[in-house]
Structure 1
């Protein structure tokens, strides 16, 4: 089966069929428009999206009256950073930006993929954080730029 469009997301669709198959993906794979995957029931799929759209946790790739195939993002090793002041937020955002590390923001938390150097920096700056496995809603994206 070749998947060319995303039907919707389980968070926004009005109803789902009684049975759901999952395609487990690392967040890095969410940005790939063309890939081969296997569901948790062993069904092989080819994904070849017509639009340049990233996949997201909960995206429905295929659905009929009895079954749906849904993307499920695997948990990642993250640093969950919770600065207590604007100064702390500025300091850590500046340092992470200088390292060209992508970050995501959810409900007052800054999420970055685990890096022991960032963890050491957080300890040195006394910025509250915790290391945890968590699903992210979208891929961490590196944004390229140049120093001219």
Structure 2
């Protein structure tokens, strides 16, 4: 089976629609969410080809296939993350500036900043006495680098 578009995301479906279908999952590493063409396998051993026509990243919960009885859903494997919890806006601005200078992609959940684990970032946070913890966590979307050059 070749998948060329995402049907919907499970968060947008009526819970009754979700419950009545058998679910297979495709587990992807977060950086594979950006790939428009890839070969994957469901947790039930079914092989799929993904060839997305739209230039859109996959997200956790995206539905690749759905009929009256079955659905195939994207799930994301856990990443090794640094979860930064600044105490105030001053700390948030300071660390955001430092990480921005290193061109590190970040995501935000509530008042936490998430970055992929890097021992240099861990050292920086310790030096700056900014609260953080290292943990395995699933992210909903890929960590995307924003194109930029210093001209």
Query: Which has the larger helix fraction?
Result: 2
Q: Report what 1:29 is aligned to.
A: 32
Partner of 2:6: 6
C-alpha separation between the residues in 1 aligned to 2:41 and 2:124? 39
Structure 2 runs not aligned, ≥5 long: none
Corresponding residue to 2:83 among 80, 85, 88: 80
Query: Which residue number corresponds to residue 50 of structure 1?
Result: 53
**Could you tell me how far 1:87 is from its partner in structure 2?**
1.3
2:126 corresponds, among 117, 123, 126, to 123
- Aligned mates of 2:2, 2:111 — CA distance in 1: 39
> In the alignment, which residue of structure 2 is the partner of 1:112?
115
CA distance in 1, matches of 2:134, 2:81: 6
Runs of 4+ in 1 over 4 A off after TM superposition: none
Structure 1 alignment gaps of length 5 or more: none
Residue of structure 1 equivalent to 2:94: 91
Q: TM-score, normalised by structure 1?
A: 0.97
Matched length = 148
Residue of structure 1 equivalent to 2:69: 66
